[in-house]
Amino acid sequence: MTIDVAIVGGGPAGAVLAARLARRGRAVVLLERSAAYRWRACGVFSSPTSVRELREAGLDAETLAAMVRPAPAMRVETATGTWVRLTYGDDGSLAAPAVSFDRAALDPALLALARQAGADVRLGAAVTGVEPGRIVGPGAAGETDLEARVIVGADGIRSTVARAFGVGRTPLLGDRVGLTFHVADPGPTAPRDARMILFRDGYVGLAPVPGGRVNVGIVLGRSCASQLRADGAERTVESVLAAIPPAGDDPVDWPVAERCDPIEGAAPLGHRVSRRHGPGWLLIGDAAGFLDPFTGEGLHRALVSARLAAAAIERHLDGDPDALAGYDRAMTARFRSKDVLSLLVQAFLARPGLFDYAARRLAGRPRVRETMGLVMGDLVPASRAMDPRFIASVLRP
């Protein structure tokens, strides 16, 4: 059968795109390889922009409230003990602080939203072949064989769709590995800061989420990734947790923290493409390129890409020959400055002394620090932080 849109991947980007298009009357099939939700390596910390995107996509306020935990700030802590508190535009007194998501609740809710909108959501449908206008692969009920006017890759950093159309490229940040899991949180459920703690050639993010848990995300650079291969995930995680410094507002005893789920990994922790579109196909979410921005916002980018893609696909199906290319240009315009800033932050991370110097300056300069938080949270254009005057205000003695 021929449909309007086939979407490969049922994460937030794919599910939101399916819901948006189905709500407009388009014939949409969403193919998700997992037969049921399972925890996988993914981001949970985000700014208020993601909450707004989800509400615009159709999630009601009550459903959203049950799957987010407010986080007044992201506290970045260096190995020398310097720390800087990025408030993402909120000092804790406003109604819309940054949040940490319960992805075990969010992801299934978005698939349900797509179904309610009229999309044909097929779980357990692993795509093995993609070609212009056609998708094949064994599904939960036998062969999946679809012809579609538009094929969308929403299938993450190892995108089958990107690979099929020959646009995958080597990640810019090289051989990096991500490890994620949850631990039990013995503290009260009141909002508290997320933490980002730097160590040699890596860092660990700690984000309290709903359900009495803390999400742990570990990023390992080249030398640590080599050690991971030698020691294994369990020993690596144990050593990282044992090195987390105690904090007065963090009740978790990290060396003996109770783990709630298995360690999941992502390698390489990055994905790059030469372009996000071609004749009859698009890439969204992490499949459209993922560059670790250090303080999150992968989820926000996924939701923005789904919104921009929905509008472009509508125009394409209505006969606009430039619509899909327009989506690619819109994504470039929206995120080019943020990507440059993220690479600059990563360059500082690779030089701990330089990063510590910048952190000390940010800690002592409230207005500069607030601007950096707004930029990292996608609340203001990233070009603001690329202004030479702003960079000078960070680095001057």
In a shared domain, residues 260 and 279: no
* Same structural domain, 288 and 167: yes
Are 52 and 158 members of one domain?
A: yes
pLDDT of residue 397: 85
Expressed as residue numbers, the domain containing 187 is 74-96+175-266
Residue 296: per-residue pLDDT:
63
Which of 217, 244, 266 terminates a domain? The answer is 266
Q: Are residues 159 and 291 in the same domain?
A: yes
- Taking 60 as the threshold, does the pLDDT of residue 191 lie above it? yes
Q: What is the CATH number of the domain that holds 30?
A: 3.50.50.60
In the three-class reduction of DSSP (H, G, I as helix; E, B as strand; rest coil), residue 358 is classed as helix
Q: Are 102 and 46 in contact (CB under 8 A)?
A: no
Domain count, the chain: 2
Domain end marker among 266, 289, 322: 266
Tell me the pLDDT tens digit for each residue of 6-28: 999 999 999 999 999 999 999 99
Instruction: Using a pLDDT cut of 70, give the percent of the chain over it.
Output: 95
Judge if 303 and 336 occupy the same domain. yes
Residue 283, in any domain of the structure: yes
What pLDDT digit, counting tens, does each position of 267-297 carry?
Answer: 878 889 999 999 999 999 999 998 776 766 7
Q: Out of 266, 281, 311, pick the residue that ends a domain.
A: 266
312 and 184 within one domain: no
In the prediction, which pLDDT does 231 show? 87
Q: 174 pLDDT exceeds 80?
A: no
Q: What integer is the mean pLDDT of 179-199?
A: 93
Residue 95: band (very low, low, confident or very high) from pLDDT cuts 50, 70, 90: very low
Whether 150 has a pLDDT exceeding 50, the answer reads yes
Confidence of residue 144 (pLDDT cuts 50, 70, 90): low
Cα dist. 166→31, 52, 174 in Å?
A: 21, 34, 20
Note whether 52 and 150 are same-domain residues.
yes
Indicate if 36 and 164 belong to the same structural domain: yes
Mean pLDDT, to the nearest integer, of 151-158?
94
Considering the domain architecture, whether residues 51 and 10 belong to the same structural domain is answered as yes
222 and 323: one domain? no
| pLDDT tens by residue, 237-258 | 999 999 999 999 999 999 999 9
Q: Per-residue pLDDT tens for 322-344?
A: 999 999 999 999 999 888 888 88
- Tell me the torsion sign for CA atoms 170, 387, 297, 86: positive
Q: What is the pLDDT of residue 93?
A: 45
- Asked whether residue 220 falls in the same domain as residue 326, the answer is no
Model-level pTM? 0.93
Q: What is the pLDDT of residue 189?
A: 87
Q: Is the pLDDT of residue 96 over 70?
A: no
Return the percent helix, strand and coil in the chain, to nearest 5. 40, 25, 35
Q: Tell whether 13 and 144 lie within a shared domain.
A: yes
Longest dimension (CA), the chain: 66
Residue 112 has pLDDT above 90, yes or no: yes
Residue 94 clears pLDDT 50, i.e. is over it: no
Q: Is the pLDDT of residue 97 over 80?
A: no
Cis peptide preceding 268, ω within 30 of 0: yes
